[in-house]
Amino acid sequence: MVKKGWIAAGALVFALGVGTGMAAKVRIDIHAYKAMPEKDAGKALLEQALVQAGKGSWERIAVGRIYLLAGMKAEGKAIFDALLAGKHQSSDVLRIARAYREAGDWQSAKVLFDRFVRENPKDEKDIAEIGAYYHLAGDRAGAEALYAKSFAITDEFWSTVTAAAGYLGVRPQE
């Protein structure tokens, strides 16, 4: 008897969850962007994408990245600041730093890269990647310190190839 009650309760919770998930889906109306000026259409779609993203950090970072790269730094920064102010993964810090770097904002990227290294001192692959970004920004001494830190953890292929990329002026593979 108790088992049937738990099964029924589980089914109800599942049905409510599916219903809530279905209700949260956003249908994009073609009139939200069609025949609008390019920038207005893009902004309208980004607003919808942010709703679709919900609380998803990867998704929110993707929206913020596009704002940054499209020259709307304040909008992107607001998304990133809100995400970092709440509960987040350390990988979110790295992804946001990459977005700032890609947008040409080395100072904002560097602050977050340094934070990531402090919070993840044994992540040899990402430390080597950050070293390559330092290298590409013209800070060879900083890069070499990060390469040494990475190699001290382990001599690993991806760390080595990433350091080589930095020396050769090639952006690391993310």
pTM of the full structure: 0.81
Q: Does 116 fall in a domain?
A: no
Q: Is 55 in the same domain as 89?
A: yes
**44 burial level (CB within 10 Å; 0-12, 13-18, 19+):** middle
Q: Does 17 fall in a domain?
A: no
Q: How far is CA 52 from the centre of its chain?
A: 16
> How far is it, in rounded angstroms, from Cα 154 to Cα 164?
16
The backbone torsions φ and ψ at residue 60, rounded to the nearest 5 degrees and listed phi first, read -65, -40
Q: Does 62 fall in a domain?
A: yes
Q: Does 12 fall in a domain?
A: no
Which residue range is the domain that position 159 belongs to?
121-174
**11-26, pLDDT tens digit by residue?**
444 444 444 343 356 6
**131-164, pLDDT tens digit by residue?**
999 999 999 999 999 999 999 998 889 999 999 9
Nearest Cα to Cα of residue 96 among 53, 129, 58, 125: 58
Q: Is 42 in the same domain as 99?
A: yes
Q: Is 77 in the same domain as 132?
A: no
